[in-house]
C-alpha cells in the first residue's frame, strides 16, 4: 500500500464537470489500494475574482481580512470535491489548512509554513477515508489568524503534507502534461522533460518557470519528496522531479534553509513511515 498526496490546481477543478473528473481519479487511486490525501486549489480563476471584488470595495486592503477572503476559494473546492467523491461511493472528509495542522508565521499574503501537525488527516486516512485539504492556507502560530502562502501556494501545502505524512509520492495535477524546457504555451517548440533533479528544478523555478511554486520545490528537495507533475486531463506519465539520495544529508551539512528568510519547517507528527 502506498500513501499518495494528489494536488489538483485551479484549472483541474474549474467547474462541476472538472470536480467530478477529479473525484473519479481520486476514487480510482483509492480503490487501487492506496491511501490518498488530496490538496485542492480554488476553482478556476476564483482567487483572481475574489481579489477583484475586494478591489471594488477597498484600495488599501486589510491583510488579515484579505487572507480570510482568499482562503474561502479553497474551502469551496474542498467541500465540493468531498461531495463528489462521496457521490461516487467513496468516503471523503475535507479539512481547512488550520484543521490539517498547517502552522505558519504571521506574514499575511506570503506566510511560511513553520510546522505541520496533520493529526486529523492521519486519523481520517487510517479510518479508510480520503482526506481533502484546502491548499494555500494555514494558521499563524502567534495570532491564530488565517494566513495564505502566496500565489500558487497550494503546491507547497501538498509537499509539506507529503513530507509530514511520509508519503511515497506527491502528484501535482495541472493542465499541461508535465514540465517542459520552457512554457509550452509561449514556446511551442519546448520539449517535455521526463525526469529532472530537484536541484535543477529549483534553478528553473528560481529563474521564473511558473509551473511549480518555488517553495514547494525547496521543501521537496529538503525532505526528499518525489514529485510527479502530470495532467489531470489524461493518464499520461508526466515529469518526475527527483531529489538525489544524498540531498537531505547535503542540505543538513550546508544548512542553507536555516536562515531568517527560510525558517525551518518542522513536522511534529506523524514521523515519516518506513515502508
User: Which residues sit at the interface with ligand ASP, rule CB under 6 A?
Assistant: 9-10, 41-42, 47, 73, 135-136, 151-154
- DSSP SS3 for 267: strand
Least distance from ligand ASP to the Cβ atom of residue 93, Å: 21
Binding to ligand ADP, residues 49-68 (CB under 6 A): none
* Element spanning 163, H or E: helix 154-165
Q: Residue 45 — φ and ψ, nearest 5°?
A: -95, 25
Least distance from ligand ASP to the Cβ atom of residue 132, Å: 15
- First-last CA distance in the chain: 9
Of 32-40, 58-66, 114-122, 146-154, which segment contacts Mg ion by CB under 5 A? 146-154
Four-CA torsion 151, 14, 120, 126, nearest 10 degrees: -130
Binding to ligand ADP, residues 117-176 (CB under 6 A): 152, 174-176
Strand 113-116 and strand 102-104: the pairing is antiparallel
User: Is 152 near Mg ion (CB under 5 A)?
Assistant: yes
Using CB under 6 A, pick the residue from 119, 210, 236, 273 that binds ligand ADP: 210
- DSSP SS3 for 263: coil
151 binds, among ligand ADP, ligand ASP, Mg ion, none (CB under 5 to 8 A by kind): ligand ASP
* CB-nearest residue to Mg ion: 152
Amino acid at each position: 500500500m502506498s500513501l499518495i498526496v494528489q494536488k489538483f490546481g485551479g484549472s483541474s477543478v474549474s467547474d462541476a464537470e472538472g470536480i467530478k473528473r477529479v473525484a473519479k481519479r481520486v476514487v480510482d487511486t483509492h480503490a487501487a489500494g492506496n491511501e490518498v490525501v488530496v490538496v485542492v486549489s480554488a476553482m478556476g480563476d476564483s482567487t483572481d475574482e475574489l481579489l477583484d471584488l475586494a478591489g471594488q470595495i477597498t484600495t488599501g486592503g486589510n491583510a488579515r481580512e484579505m487572507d480570510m477572503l482568499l482562503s474561502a476559494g479553497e474551502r469551496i473546492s474542498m467541500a465540493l470535491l468531498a461531495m463528489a467523491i462521496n457521490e461516487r461511493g467513496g468516503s471523503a472528509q475535507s479539512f481547512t489548512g488550520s484543521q490539517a495542522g498547517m502552522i505558519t508565521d504571521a506574514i499575511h499574503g506570503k506566510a511560511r509554513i513553520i510546522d505541520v501537525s496533520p493529526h486529523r488527516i492521519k486519523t481520517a486516512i487510517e479510518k479508510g477515508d480520503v482526506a481533502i485539504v484546502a491548499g494555500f492556507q494555514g494558521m499563524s502560530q502567534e495570532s491564530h489568524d488565517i494566513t495564505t502562502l502566496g500565489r500558487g501556494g497550494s503546491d507547497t501545502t501538498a509537499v509539506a503534507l507529503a513530507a509530514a505524512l511520509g508519503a511515497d509520492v506527491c502528484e501535482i495535477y495541472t493542465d499541461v502534461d508535465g514540465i517542459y524546457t520552457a512554457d509550452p504555451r509561449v514556446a511551442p517548440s519546448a520539449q517535455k522533460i521526463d525526469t529532472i533533479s530537484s536541484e535543477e528544478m529549483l534553478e528553473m523555478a528560481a529563474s521564473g518557470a511558473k509551473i511549480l511554486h518555488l517553495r514547494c520545490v525547496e521543501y521537496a528537495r529538503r525532505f526528499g519528496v518525489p514529485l510527479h507533475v502530470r495532467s489531470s486531463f489524461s493518464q499520461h506519465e508526466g515529469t518526475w522531479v527527483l531529489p538525489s539520495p544524498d540531498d537531505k544529508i547535503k542540505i543538513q551539512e550546508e544548512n542553507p534553509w536555516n536562515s531568517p528568510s527560510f525558517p525551518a519547517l518542522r513536522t511534529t507528527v506523524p514521523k515519516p513511515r518506513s515502508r
